[in-house]
A and B are shown apart, each in its own frame.
Chain A
Amino acid sequence: NRNGPKPKPHTQILVCSFNLSLSINGPIYNTVFLFQKWVKFKRDFDNFKTQCIPWEMKIKEVESHFGSSVASYFIFLRWMYGVNLVLFGLIFGLVIIPEILMGIPYGSIPRKTVPRAEQATAMDFSVLWDFEGYIKYSALFYGYYNNQRTIGWLKYRLPMAYFMVGVSVFGYSLMVVIRSMAKNANENTGDGDDNNFTFSWKMFTSWDYLIGNPETADNKFASIATSFKESIVDEQESNKDENIHLRRFLRVLANVLIICCLCGSGYLIYFVVKRSQTFSKMQNIGWYERNEVEIVMSLLGIFCPPLFETIAALEEYHPRIGLKWQLGRIFALFLGNLYTFLLALMDDVNEKLTEEVVIKNFTHWTLLSYYNSSAMNDSAVTPPPIDPADVPRVPCWETTVGIEFVRLTVSDILVTYVIILVGDFIRACFVRFVNYCWCWDLEAGFPSYAEFDISGNVLGLIFNQGMIWMGSFYAPGLVGINVLRLLTSMYFQCWAVMSSNVPHERVFKASKSNNFYMGLLLLILFLSLLPVAYTIMSLPPSFDCGPFSGKKRMYDVIQETIKQDFPLFIAKIFSYVANPGLIIPAVLLMILYLFILNAADKATCSAALIQKITSANSGW
């Protein structure tokens, strides 16, 4: 039996050091002392950095009670909040603030003024709630901005800034999503699920001896119990017996049923949109006919996900994989909804464009006749300019699009909060208090307490972000609304989860790589870039509102800036670079480079794997 080292009695050394401390000035004492101080400093700095991360304690508390899957939703929410905060800073600082500070004030030109016809109702709450009235003619929407090339004493190029900020919103988001995916991919190869000592390490290294607070200890006990349960579930899943054929048949059946549901919902939306187009041509339509599309879309969004979940019970996947399938299906459903909404919007925009041409001619004719009539009256003085509120106005399609997106976002926020309040909180109150006087046990049977719906919430967040990306070019204020929404969501949902939800029956570990969520987000980013890019490239801007009014296409602002603000040779360089003959080879080269990187990565992975296997065999 090996006797371990036992530290010698310290008392003797303590007495000695009392006497010797004054004379010992040696290097050992100083080095150890300095080293201790350095360690303490590093520890304090790390603590400080961790404290700077917002909501860390809240998320840890949720994690210890509900497991890492639920906590991963809140971590994702916090990350989104960070990204939106940066986007908000960009838009607010580079577009809204310069316009407010240095642009010409409200009421001076037609686009910045509420028209005479609407002025009576412009301050009504119901009008403001629909984002008409004074809100429509403010810096929150595209139509407010003037197309002056430079504004203020700084000669700030506002149209150029507007365009570049719009582009960089997408660029920054793309960069941040891809960087996050790359980081998660690294982490995944780092630790690996083929851990040899999962249970042993959980048993001997999970209790944190530093805990000195009863509440933290409670949290820790809960989280350790949850963590053990997660690992047990993982272990049992990998041991389950399989009847492969029956399982495959059931899975195919489930997928067929769900595809039928998706097709059915797609057709329903198409049918309802067509009907709404015929309604809009009729007069005297009721409230239901006006809002039919939104109602149908909301109902589909509420009832289809639980339907999918019920069908998915046939499939008997591991909860983590089942969650991914559920997410994919709800994604397909929401995508159908969103693109139908966009198609309806595009129809509206095209209509407005044709209307615009008519009104443009009308406006010119009106102004001309106004000045001519005053000239005919033989007045020597030039007539006063028309009050901006009286000038005939175009239906500014960009602002309309912006308003639609803002309305959609706000109604989405309200629906989400109401569903949480009713579906979780009121339900929990009902189950808790009515249980005393009810025939069956409400807590054990129907309806019981709600479980936190991870897939619904994650997809809601991702689609909300997609709408923000789509709408922010036409409504710069939308990102501000979203930042507020995410902030309140964090507190509200944390409270709702802790007060009204119960942990899932089967607790499972979130897959270490959050790449599935990030992949969805990347797809949505791409899909929301498409409509914006299409409208920028192919639709002419309104002639009377926004920073690009008067141009043939919105991107003409770049050419204008290059021609006027940069020396001549740079314009030449750009015209050469923009040549397709140069761009296509460059794109091909980048694709080839991607292939090479991919092949190299696969090679290093297999080399690392071989090394791992040989070292495991040699038994270090």
Chain B
Amino acid sequence: CKLGQSVFLCCLYTFPSLSRLFYRYRDLAPQLVPLSYIDKPDVKLPYELIGSMAELKDNPFRQRIAEVFSEDGEGNMTLDDFLDMFSVLSEMAPRDLKAYYAFKIYDFNNDDYICKSDLEKTVNKLTRNELTLEEVCLVCDKVIDEADQDNDGRLSVEDFQHMIARAPDFLSTFHIRI
């Protein structure tokens, strides 16, 4: 159940790690973030600050990551969003949780399906537009061919989870250490 899961997530980080994350968040904009959260202030850091973090600045998907974890969907993150993001991307998060969020990251148009245009955007981000149009098309067709099980020409959450379940590198690559 949800409560159990969040308690579990809390245990993913020990207290020293959580406070370290808080100070990383604060260091991005010390004048905006207060030291005490007892009054539950409503502070949002803009995407530009999040995207400039050392761990994220070289990641081609940093914008999508910020958008997925932010409440407003624009990439502006509260402390909660920030902590969520790093706890899902940490070593200790369970596979299903990571797969769910990975699906959301690669779903560029937020329609709960990874369609061909999402795949094209992913490939182009991964190769920095080095592949020709035909090659990109071939790759996307092959991916849909391989993973689409209900034959609707796009990947649903179940298709994605089924495909990623046996991937040997998924846990080690979908991981940020902070």
Which residues on A are within 8 Å of B, measured CB to CB? 1-2, 4-11, 13-15, 17, 21, 28-29, 32-33, 36, 39, 196-201, 203-214, 216-217, 221, 224-225, 228-229, 232, 235
Contact = CB atoms under 8 A, between A and B. Distances in A.
6 contacts: A6-B84, A8-B9, A17-B18, A201-B167, A205-B167, A210-B176
A32 B14 contact: yes
A33 B55 CA distance: 24
A203 B139 contact: yes
Contacts of B163: 197, 200-201, 204
A199 B143 contact: yes
A235 B139 CA distance: 10
Contacts of A208: 172-173
A228 B131 contact: yes
B127 interface: yes
Given A6-B84, A32-B14, A229-B131, 10 more contacts: A5-B97, A15-B37, A28-B11, A36-B14, A36-B17, A204-B167, A204-B170, A210-B177, A224-B126, A228-B126
Nearest to B166: A197
B79 A232 contact: no
B18 A203 contact: no
Contacts of B15: 17, 21
B157 interface: yes
B11 A32 contact: yes
B142 A235 contact: yes
A212 B58 contact: yes
| Chain B: interface size category | 35 or more
B135 A221 contact: no
Nearest to B177: A210
B138 A232 contact: yes
A452 B15 CA distance: 54
Contacts of A7: 5-6, 9, 83-84, 87-88
B112 A33 contact: no
Interface string B85-127: 0011101100001001110101000001000000100110011
A198 B157 contact: no
A4 B102 CA distance: 12
A305 to B, nearest CB: 31
A204 B59 contact: no
Contacts of B157: 2
B72 interface: no
Contacts of A15: 37-38
A204 B106 contact: yes
A138 B14 CA distance: 67
Contact of A211 (B58, B130, B164, B168): B58
Contacts of A39: 91
A209 to B, nearest CB: 5
A198 B167 CA distance: 10
Given A21-B15, A229-B131, A13 B10 contact: yes
B131 A196 contact: no
Interface of B: 2-3, 5-6, 9-11, 14-15, 17-19, 22, 37-38, 40, 54-55, 57-61, 79-80, 83-84, 87-89, 91-92, 97, 100-102, 104, 106, 112, 119, 122-123, 126-128, 130-131, 135, 138-139, 142-143, 146-147, 157, 160, 163-164, 166-170, 172-177
Nearest to A209: B176
Nearest to A30: B14
A10 B10 contact: yes
A197 B166 CA distance: 9
Given A5-B5, A197-B167, A11 B147 contact: no
Chain A residues touching B, majority SS: helix
Nearest 10 CB-CB pairings of A with B: A8-B6, A217-B58, A10-B83, A225-B127, A199-B142, A225-B130, A4-B100, A205-B169, A9-B80, A205-B170
A426 B162 CA distance: 53
Contacts of A200: 143, 146-147, 163
Contacts of A205: 164, 167, 169-170, 173-174
A616 B24 CA distance: 47
Nearest to B58: A217
A216 B55 CA distance: 13
A211 B59 contact: yes
B72 to A, nearest CB: 15
Contact of A228 (B11, B127, B170): B127
A14 B22 contact: yes
A220 to B, nearest CB: 9
Contacts of B128: 221, 225
B61 A198 contact: no
B14 to A, nearest CB: 5
A205 B168 CA distance: 9
A14 B6 CA distance: 13
A204 B131 contact: no
B167 A203 contact: no
Contacts of B60: 207
Contacts of B100: 4-5
A385 to B, nearest CB: 74
A203 B119 CA distance: 8
A32 B172 CA distance: 20
Nearest to B10: A13
Nearest to B11: A32
A10 B80 contact: yes
Contacts of A207: 59-61, 126, 173
Contacts of A214: 58
Contact of A209 (B11, B14, B59): B59
Contacts of A217: 58
A343 to B, nearest CB: 52
Contact of B127 (A1, A5, A221): A221
B129 to A, nearest CB: 9
Contacts of B138: 232, 235
A14 B119 contact: no
Nearest to B16: A33
A214 B131 CA distance: 21
Contacts of B147: 197, 200
A209 B175 contact: yes
B20 to A, nearest CB: 12
Nearest to A32: B11
A98 B3 CA distance: 74
A397 to B, nearest CB: 58
